[in-house]
Structure 1
Amino acid sequence: MKKEHLIIIGNGMATGRLLSEITALDADRYEITVFDQEPHGSYNRIMLSPVLAEEMTAKEIVIHTADWFTNNNITLHTNDPIVSIDRENKTVTSQRGVTAHYDKLVMATGSEPALPAAARDCSLNGILSFRNMRDVQRIKSHANNSEHALVIGGGLLGLEAAYGLRKQGVHVTVLHRGEWLLNRQLDEAAGKLLQTELERRGINIVLGKEVTAFKGAQHISSVSLSDGSELNVQQVVIAIGIVPHTELAERAGLECQRGVHVNNCMQTSDENIYALGECCQFGDDTFGLVAPIWDQTRVLSNLLCDDGSHRFEVNPTATKLKISGIDLYSAGEYLDSDDTDAVIFNDRLRGTYKKLLFRNDQLVGTVLYGAVQDGNWYFDLIQNKQNTRAIRPHIIFGRAFSEKKSATGTDTERTTLAAAS
């Protein structure tokens, strides 16, 4: 019997994970073809920061080599993105003119960097993004001829880029329009602790401002800021967020908004086409973190190869920063609100900060800085929606202390800790 043909557009982390799960569940179910615009095999994009900082090599972050595709009888077209989808005839056509028929099609086209308004029509050399392996190579190349680099964006990716550039010996300024760093993952107290540590490492932080103009002849030489000041820079790295790739889906007539719309089975408005990863939108949510994308691949691989019983839902996520020697952890909610209670431990001398947010005796969020060993435990409590009333007096001091206290405490405390474990 002829196998169904599964075509996947894109070969990033989502595709790499999906292929691993499909081959583990039912390796012979489909004839599989992957089209990718990049020249590399799939690699772990979230580990680009350690590669930039020269703490890892590009080879170490590869997910699937060319040999892996060959050994698993998967056809891989590199440097050849799909440019059109014919839904009526169920075919795709690539940039090089390859036309292939599909029975099932997966769109994993990823995203592109969001750009500040001043950069959208700017063609100066030295203004770079930080999204793929080519970007890492370009950033490192420009760093060799740069005394001062500006990183626009004080989120996870921007700070990791700044750290990597500083490791290259470049003077670095981070420009962030928020009131504190990582303002979508940390509260102000933790953000200020992080800023102090980065400044101690020689990274200058400028908050509450934006770039209004990029200046130079052919190469970037300075930027104008919203307060009227200027910075002389020889390199700019933009890391202010992502924009899902939807152009291909839109041309094919699929329902799109900010991303390609999917249901809880990762199915688009066409029953034979699926989307996952940074290009898709579920409800009002788009996705840039790994955890929900892994959930998506589990749902889709189950649908394609098993009983199709899994359904996608948006769950709390945890955040870590990949900068050596800086320990921070954030999960769930991170800002106080009228219906939450906060328990805070702040040891300024040791640079340790903990905040737990509760709603109706359930832990709904945590922010940790400097002491993160209990992060996964707190995250489990959040995900399991565990009632924590019995251990509230000592939960801020961590799992080990709570377990010690509960060993001599009430049956309710022991039951709560057992459930949390």
Structure 2
Amino acid sequence: MNKQKLVLIGNGMAGVRCIEEILRVAPHSFEMTIFGTEPHLNYNRIQLSSVLQGGTTFNDITIHDRTWYDEQNINLFTGETVIKIDPEKQVVKTNKNREFSYDRLIIATGSVPFILPITGTNNEGVIAFRTIEDCQKMIEAAKHYRKAVVIGGGVLGLEAAFGLLNLGMEVTVVHNGRNLMERQLDERAAKLLQTELEKQGLRFLFDKETKEINGTSRVGGVSFKDGTEIPADLVVMAVGVRPNIRLAKDSGIDTNRAIIVNDYLETNIPNIYAVGECVEHQGIVYGLVKPLYDQGKVLAKRICGLECKGYEGTILSTQLKISGVDVFSVGQFTCDERFKSIEIHDELDDVYKKLVFDESKLVGAVLFGDTSDRTRLLDMILKKQKVSDVEKVTLFQALRGAEGSVASMSPSEIICNCNSVPKGAIIEAVLKTGCSTVEQVKKCTKASASCGGCKPLVSELLTYIQSDEFDEVIEQKTLCSCTSLTEDDVVYEMQMKGLSSVQEVMDVLDWHNKTGCATCLPALAYYIGMIYPEYESQQETLFVSEKMSAILQHDGSYTVIPQMYGGKTSAAQLRTIAEVAEKFGISNVAVTSEQRIHLMGVKEEDLSDVWAALNMAVSATYGNMVQNVKTCIGEHVCRCDKQPSLQLAVNLERRLEFLITPYRVKMGISACMHNGAGSTTKDIGIIGTELGWEIYAGGSSGRHIRAGELLCLEAATDDVIEIICGFIQYYRETANYLERTWQWIERVGLVHIREILFDLELRQQLLMRLEQDKFLRRTSLEKSSK
């Protein structure tokens, strides 16, 4: 099959990340060509400020070297600009008079720095801060000149100013507003930031509008509209960027502030897409790396023909990358009649924290002086988590101390937001590969590989791992004393060598104890059952068909459980159960917490007659399976409509019958926020709200009670069923034997699980495999009973 031709205009971070995603999901589908105007390979533009400040080199910020392009069979043209697109012929033309045809075209031309339209901007010594060349010019200027002026008091301007200060220059930041970073910080945080930066040597001029750049051939100073002026040997323009849309506009592609795209990053012209800073989605132009990466994932799947959820926008967060200055903001940071805030200001330690709420939901935060809880706050905002009045107080108590913050984080909490890297992944990388520096962790996990804002947290985590206090060792224990292999190794060898019986595993993998033990025998049987769903080991359940199943008891008798999906029954069913109990002398009859009636003490010789007399479906959820769903049907607390929750329980029980799981899975469905089924302490819990169904995961109601974490909020019942069934299947496929759902979530990360479940294509694959496994196991059960 001939490969389609894919052309990418722009060798920057957004476009190449999209290419990475395409290579991941469809590595052999396209013949790829990339054009980059800059003469460099793909590099991390966001970390130019780190280069300027002296903590990073140009080589360090190169994302892909030439070898990577060659290995991926990508035709790369650096220092070459596409100057024309012919949508009808599907051809692009470059400034070197070359033409290339395409089947799919991605425009990722990024942004260009905005230069104030004033006199003197062409003088030597007036530069922007956008490229490697700009950075090199600033470093070179610092060797020969003394006075620098940075125009712009936003994030980029402050990072440039601090870099020049470190290079030994006297730096003045000129800003046309009253406060620094007014798009990300409230007034109090901005003043605290200004004070801290002034202590480090920066100077500031506010409410200044630049009139012109003084000098003849080289810059000599800056004049303002109020009649004042200051001397300058170097002027850095950091007043913002503008989407680079000239090529798109000249080619007939719809533009506004940027290239207009739909939720799938498609332009108005077929087979032409756009991604990154040159894109306008639902009226918003993004300039941060996280949304650009989110866009790239969606676009990659769209181009590869995979079903996926469209891009829905991104909640923006900002962290200033200046050594020794901790500043973070996310979401809504101003207040009005709708948004209210809680603030604390510790003047002794120069710590300021502001949390903004929309009623009971956290929608924004500003942190200065201590940003250790930024990942937790960001997660709460992304999950639209409701916070009670008591929890608000507790939250601020937790925010008061930064010490031990990394140690107290759970393994699933995100360290690197740009690349969704959790704490556990970094610990595992350090322990397994011996990573000992931030750079090594970056190469291994991609943590800090994008904006670099998490670099201090990664460094703190490394220090913690290397300290005597660290006790979160990921133990690579052997499966049991019968083998020297770990559990993961055993499963891998079983799959690679096609081992399909317990004895075969023990023989081929050189088991020390050829008869196995109580630990490995059930584990091997479980894994064989997962790899080969038609396999069935000896069970403590007698299963013949849906109407013929029983559980063996310790005294040799059996328990028969008439099926009541969702706990619902009828007068006729109850009458039949009572008649069967009387007819066969079954005196031990009980109603369990799962809302089922157990007929206990049935003799083996009576089983066939009992089943025939009942003539109804019977439950078979003994052992490590999805247990019957607990529901709430009482009306003594409230009179909300219970029927939707009961029907949801019925549907889920039918979908999840017969499936074995790593450990027993308990579920609860509560009709409303009164949580009558104890849903928040189940492996999977569902609570009805006015907005839809809240789904919780990883709870436990055992000896050590654990509250489940909010997995998602879904309005449609069909979506809820799909998400839960997908969750169950992914748990079945990736959890270790006897690993509880909460242990599994901590190990693999809740964010990762969400990414899998909300990828429609991956979710459908999980659901398809679940149905196949269910069919094969049900068939094998029926065969084994004959």
Which residue is 1:337 aligned to?
336
1:228 maps to: 227
Matched, 1:262 2:261: yes
Kindly state the Cα deviation for residue 416 of structure 1 after the two structures are TM-superposed. Answer: 7.6
1:131, 1:258 → 2: CA distance?
Answer: 20
Contact between 1:33 and 1:75, CA under 8 Å: does it hold in 2? yes
CA distance in 2, matches of 1:340, 1:24: 42
- Aligned partners of 1:266 and 1:300 also within 8 Å: yes
Q: Residue 24 of structure 1 aligns with which residue?
A: 24
1:202 aligns with 2:201: yes
TM-fit CA distance, 1:145: 2.0
Task: Report percent identity of matched pairs.
Answer: 37
Q: CA deviation at 1:140?
A: 1.2
**1:240 — aligned with what?**
239
Q: Normalising by structure 2, what TM-score?
A: 0.51
> Cα distance, 1:240 vs. partner?
1.0
Q: Does 1:309 align with 2:600?
A: no
Distance across 1 between alignment mates of 2:77 and 2:383: 42
Whether the 8 Å CA contact 1:377–1:399 is kept in 2: the answer is no
The total of aligned residue pairs comes to 414
Match of 1:53? Answer: 53
1:42-96 residue CA offsets vs partner (Å, 9 max, x unmatched): 0111000011112100111111111110111000011111000011100001110
Equivalent residue for 2:285? 286
Which residue does the alignment assign to 1:277? 276
- Greater strand proportion: 1
| Unpaired stretches in structure 2, ≥5 consecutive residues | 409-677, 682-704, 712-749, 751-786
Q: CA deviation at 1:302?
A: 1.2
Contact 1:353 1:370 in 2 (8 A): yes
**Which residue of structure 1 aligns with residue 6 of structure 2?**
6
Partners of 1:302 and 1:310 within 8 A in 2: no
Asked whether the equivalents of residues 51 and 57 of structure 1 are also in contact (C-alpha less than 8 Å), the reply is yes
Report if the CA contact (8 A) 1:25-1:306 is conserved: no
Q: What is residue 173 of structure 2 aligned with on the other side?
A: 174
TM-align CA RMSD: 2.1
Q: CA deviation at 1:16?
A: 2.2
**1:21-420 matches, cutoff 5 A:** 21-118=21-118, 122-305=121-304, 307-389=306-388, 390-398=390-398, 418-419=709-710
After superposition, the C-alpha distances for 1:170-199 in whole angstroms (9 at most, x for unaligned) are: 000001112111110111111111101110
**What amino acid is the match of 1:58?**
F
Cα distance in 2 between the residues matched to 1:164 and 1:153? 14
Could you report, residue by residue, the CA deviation over 1:317-373 in whole angstroms, capped at 9, with x for unpaired residues?
Answer: 111011111111100011112211110010112110000001110001000001111
- Aligned counterparts of 2:400 and 2:351: Cα–Cα separation in 1: 17
Alpha-carbon distance in 2 for matches of 1:172, 1:302: 46
Distance 1:130 1:363, change over 3 A: same
Corresponding letter in the other structure for 1:109: T
Q: CA deviation at 1:122?
A: 3.2
Separation in 1, partners of 2:709, 2:103: 48
Q: Could you give the per-residue CA deviations for residues 362-392 of structure 1, whole angstroms, max 9, x where no partner exists?
A: 0010000011111111111111111101512
Secondary structure of the residue aligned to 1:62 is: coil
Counterpart AA for 1:49: S
Q: Considering only CA atoms, is the larger Rg found in Structure 1 or Structure 2?
A: 2
Q: Deviations over 1:385-418 (max 9, x none)?
A: 11101512222233698x99xxxxxx99998884
Question: Is the 8 Å Cα contact of residues 383 and 710 (structure 2) preserved in structure 1?
Answer: no
Q: Runs of 5+ in structure 1 lacking a partner?
A: 405-410
Aligned residue number for residue 407 of structure 1:
none
2: distance between equivalents of 1:84 and 1:398? 56
Give the Cα–Cα distance (whole angstroms) in 2 for the partners of residues 207 and 292 of structure 1: 31
Deviations 1:279-315 (A, max 9, x none): 1111211111111101100101111225131311122
Judged with a 3 Å threshold, the aligned counterparts in structure 2 of structure 1 residues 416 and 242 are, in CA distance, closer, same or farther, namely farther
User: Could you state the TM-score of these two structures normalised by the residue count of structure 1?
Assistant: 0.94
8 A contact 1:299–1:308 mirrored in 2: no
SS in 1 for 2:393: coil
Is the CA contact 1:320–1:330 (under 8 Å) kept in the aligned structure 2?
A: yes
The CA distance in 2 between the partners of 1:301 and 1:366, in whole Å, is 32
Relative to structure 1, the CA distance from residue 118 to residue 377 in structure 2 (aligned partners, 3 Å threshold; closer, same or farther) is: same
**Distance (whole Å) between structure 2 residues aligned to residue 123 and residue 317 of structure 1:** 35
